[in-house]
Amino acid sequence: MTKRLKRWFIRLLLPLSVLYLRLLSRTVRWERRYDFEKDRGKIYALWHGNALCMALMGIDRGIYTLVSRFRDGDVAEYILKGLGYGVVRGSTEEGRAEKGGRVGVLKLLQVLKEGHNVAITVDGPKGPAFEVKSGVVFLAQKSGCPIVPAYAHFERSIRLNTWDLFTIPLPFSRARLVVGREIKVGPEDSLEEKVKELQEELSRVSSSGIPYPPPWELSQNSDCPKRR
């Protein structure tokens, strides 16, 4: 397939992907809906592999999310905007100018200042999987906004054999959102200690009350199930 044909195919597929995800979201049977209206200026922390599961709950809630400024982020931006998300292009890696770190952080600070909520994949964009990076903690410290660890559990889904064990929910699945204890980062707090605290809390909510192994255990097993 030529590059031109591939780009044409992707442009054709994107609107259909948005439509499918919107229809899929209507079939999900959530145990309890999360009240996003009560949140103002909060940072939702999630694993990269759980991003689609979380996205289905936050459709049309005006949440902002961070997407790579490179070409591979174009597809994600289109889909997220189609689902009613705000998009900031860049990175939370402060000081990494080649990745848009400074620009990404400044834009997110402005978004949080305006009272919007922000969702960040804390082990993205390329891992290591299930290891919290310091960028989200740095953002919380500079903004004064709390971090909310969250994980969406789906009864029926496909788990891909990718670096992040990316999970694709299946239609008509029961689902449950588990939200952890809010983590606040003060001006004098150690980023390293807060990263460890977030790691422990996000790991806890990711494995809370589920009858199957948490994702980081599956990542150590090359024969991990693709579907559950």
Task: Give the pLDDT of residue 92.
Answer: 66
Task: Give the pLDDT of residue 227.
Answer: 39
- Reported as a single tens digit per residue, the pLDDT across 17-65 is 999 999 999 999 999 888 988 999 999 999 999 999 999 999 999 999 9
pTM: 0.86
**Residue 25 CB neighbours (<10 A):** 18
- Reported as a single tens digit per residue, the pLDDT across 114-166 is 999 999 999 978 889 999 999 999 999 999 999 999 999 999 999 999 999 99
Question: Structural domain boundaries of the chain?
Answer: 3-218
Q: Phi, psi (5° rounding) for residue 132?
A: -70, 130
Task: Give the pLDDT of residue 11.
Answer: 76
163 DSSP assignment: T
Confidence of residue 1 (pLDDT cuts 50, 70, 90): low
Three-state DSSP class for residue 97: helix
Burial of 84 (0-12, 13-18, 19+ CB in 10 A): middle
| 208 pLDDT higher than 80 | no
Q: What is the mean pLDDT of residues 158-179?
A: 94
Task: Give the pLDDT of residue 212.
Answer: 45
Three-state DSSP class for residue 203: helix
CA–CA separation, 45 and 35 (whole Å): 16
Contact 216, 130 (CB under 8 A): yes
Confidence of residue 211 (pLDDT cuts 50, 70, 90): very low
| 209 pLDDT higher than 70 | no
Omega of the bond leading into 128 within 30 degrees of 0 (cis): yes
CA–CA separation, 72 and 85 (whole Å): 18
- Reported as a single tens digit per residue, the pLDDT across 85-123 is 999 998 766 444 444 467 889 999 999 999 999 999 999
Confidence of residue 215 (pLDDT cuts 50, 70, 90): low
| 214 pLDDT higher than 70 | no
CA–CA separation, 170 and 89 (whole Å): 29
